[in-house]
Structures are given as C-alpha cells and as structure tokens.
Amino acid sequence: MRLTGRRAVVTGAAGALGSVICGALAADGADVIGADLDRSGLDTVESAVTAHGRRWIPAAVDLTDFDAVQDTVGRAVKDLGGADILVNSAGGGAVSFFHEMTYETWTTQVDRNLTSVFNATRAVLPAMLEGGFGRIVNISSVAAIGGGRLVRGATAYAAAKAGVVGLTKALAIELAEQGVTVNCIAPGAQATGARDNDTPEWRESLLAQIPTRLLGEPEHLAETVVFLSSAAAVNITGVILPLDGGHSI
Ligand SMILES: NC(=O)c1ccc[n+]([C@@H]2O[C@H](COP(=O)([O-])OP(=O)(O)OC[C@H]3O[C@@H](n4cnc5c(N)ncnc54)[C@H](O)[C@@H]3O)[C@@H](O)[C@H]2O)c1
C-alpha cells in the first residue's frame, strides 16, 4: 500500500487506460477523482475504486474547457480535502493527412491532448503546492518521440503529445524544489479494445516494429503510474519514459 491517504485526480478516467489506472491507484490506497467527458463511462469505473474501500468522486467535464475544469475539478478536490496525485490520461488521436487537414482537426487534437493537460494541471496544482507534495504523471505517446510512424497522418496528435513532453520537462524544473515531481509516460501500442479490430496482417506489421513483439498491457502501465506516484519516486522528475517494447529505440 504505497499510496495510503493520498488523493488522486485521473483525467480520461473512463478510458481504456484511465479506468485501469483508477483501479490501480485505489488498490494501493488512494482516493480517486475521475474526470472525463463520458459521464456514464465514469459510472462503470466507480466499483474499481470503491472495491478497495477508497472514495470515488466522478467529475464529468470537458477537459478542453478551462473555466469548467477549474470549477468542476476544483470543487472535487475541495470535497476530497486536497490532491497529491494527478494523472493526465485524457486524449486520443485522429488520422488526417497534413495537406488536407482542417484547422478544426488541428485545434481539436491540440486541445484534447495538450490544452487538457494545462487545464487539469492548473486546477490541481495549487492544492499540491499547499500540501507540499505532488506527483504529476502525464500520458503522452511514442508518437511524440518517433513521429507516429505506425500511422501516417498523425501530425497533429504527435505535435500535441510532443507538447506534453515539453510541458513535463519545463514544469518539472519549475516545481523541483517544491515537493512536486512531473513525469511522462510515452506508451506504444497498448492491448486495449481499440486493437480488437486489427486484421492479422496489420497486427503482424505492428509487432514487426516492436523489438519485444509485445503490445503494452494496461495493468503494467498502471503499475508504472503507481510507482511514479509513490514516495519512493521522490527524486525522479522530468523523465519521459517510453513503455513501448523498444519501439522508440
Ligand atoms: N491505448 C494506446 O495504445 C495508447 C498509446 C499511446 C498513447 N495513448 C494515450 O493514452 C491516453 C489514454 O488512452 P486510452 O487508450 O485510454 O484512450 P481512450 O480513448 O480509451 O480514453 C481516453 C479518454 O479520454 C476522454 N476524453 C477525450 N477527450 C476529452 C475531453 N475533451 N474532456 C474529457 N475527457 C476526454 C475520453 O472520453 C476517454 O474516456 C490517451 O492520451 C492516449 O493518447 C494510448
């Protein structure tokens, strides 16, 4: 129980990775605020947290809306009496070739994957600074490192996720002496439901690019989040950690 008494905020909590992260944080002792656009999806995560005897607060909000996030997430943090951990997992990609990409596609990708990180972090950080302890874990992507080589047409997503890398490093420096660490996980392809429709040919071409020939397991990623959120990770900050089976080597 590495997180007993800690209070966590997880964005994208209704998602394939966010929901597993919520359960893993609770299993190690943390109460969890789950923020997501998907209100009914949040309801399905509740038992993964309460089964461990931890408190669950759903925060249904569009994370691209600055004022709504300050209000909704800010209120949930007050309800919980503070915040020690923030996992920024909300996001998602869209394929669009650059020469025909609309301004709307570009801004939607940047807002969903990067501005959401600013909005949530801005809402939670004051409580961390007040408590003198904080662990921020941002979920970027291997696309931020390798340009999204798996899928052509990922420029907006890759650019936004690379923005998360820059934000992580600059914020880690800014907060280094205040008890708040900021780290980033850059996952490669994960074994989530999104992969269920892969054809055997597509799956083989994917695995051929991954030295271990393994997709990431959400439970392993969640375990990494728990470690980075723990007291033991006190001297780890500004790290960009690929969880990608060597894909980015
Ligand atoms: N699954 C993978 O293979 C993989 C690989 C690399 C990176 N990632 C990144 O990991 C994170 C989680 O991925 P996932 O597989 O759980 O995706 P997912 O689509 O299952 O979950 C993303 C969640 O974010 C929420 N969300 C999106 N936009 C939002 C908004 N504006 N406001 C509030 N909530 C919003 C969605 O409702 C969803 O519940 C994402 O940032 C993704 O880019 C995933």
pLDDT at 142: 96
Ligand 1 in contact with 146 (CB < 6 A)? no
Q: Does pLDDT of 96 surpass 90? A: yes
What secondary structure, in 3-state letters, does the chain show?
A: CCCCCCEEEEECCCCHHHHHHHHHHHHCCCEEEEEECCHHHHHHHHHHHHCCCCCEEEEECCCCCHHHHHHHHHHHHHHHCCCCEEEECCCCCCCCCHHHCCHHHHHHHHHHHHHHHHHHHHHHHHHHHHHCCEEEEEECCCHHHHCCCCCCCCHHHHHHHHHHHHHHHHHHHHHCCCCEEEEEEEECCECCHHHCCCCHHHHHHHHCCCCCCCCECHHHHHHHHHHHHCHHHCCCCCCEEEECCCCCC
Residue range 113-129, pLDDT digits in tens = 999 999 999 999 999 99
pLDDT at 10: 99
pLDDT at 22: 99
Q: Does pLDDT of 57 surpass 90? A: yes
On whether the CB atoms of residues 11 and 64 are closer than 8 A, the answer is: no
pLDDT class for 172, splitting at 50, 70, 90?
Answer: very high
pLDDT at 148: 80
**Average pLDDT value for residue range 17-36:** 98
Q: Does pLDDT of 151 surpass 90? A: no
Q: How many CB atoms lie within 10 A of CB 41?
A: 18
Ligand 1 in contact with 62 (CB < 6 A)? yes
**Average pLDDT value for residue range 41-48:** 98
Q: Does pLDDT of 150 surpass 90? A: no
Ligand 1 in contact with 108 (CB < 6 A)? no
pLDDT at 220: 98
pLDDT at 8: 99
Q: Which CATH number fits domain 7-243: 3.40.1280.10, 3.30.70.1350, 3.20.20.210, 3.40.50.720?
A: 3.40.50.720
Q: Please tell me which residue in 56, 118, 133, 157 is annotated as part of the active site.
A: 157
Q: How far apart are CA 154 and CA 97, in angstroms?
A: 8
Q: How far apart are CA 208 and CA 204, in angstroms?
A: 6
pLDDT class for 59, splitting at 50, 70, 90?
Answer: very high
Is there a catalytic annotation at residue 157? yes
Residue 85 phi/psi, 5-degree rounding, is -130, 135
Ligand 1 in contact with 18 (CB < 6 A)? yes
As a whole number, the mean pLDDT across the chain is 97
Q: Does pLDDT of 145 surpass 90? A: yes
pLDDT class for 138, splitting at 50, 70, 90?
Answer: very high
pLDDT at 153: 95
More reliable by pLDDT, 186 or 151: 186
**Average pLDDT value for residue range 33-61:** 98
| 9, 10, 11, 17: residue to mutate for ligand 1 pocket, most atoms within 8 A of CB | 17
Q: Does pLDDT of 92 surpass 90? A: yes
Q: What does the domain layout of the chain look like in residue ranges?
A: 7-243
On whether the CB atoms of residues 76 and 59 are closer than 8 A, the answer is: yes
Beta partners for residue 58, in sequence order: 34
pLDDT at 149: 78
Closest CA to 8 of 179, 124, 172: 124
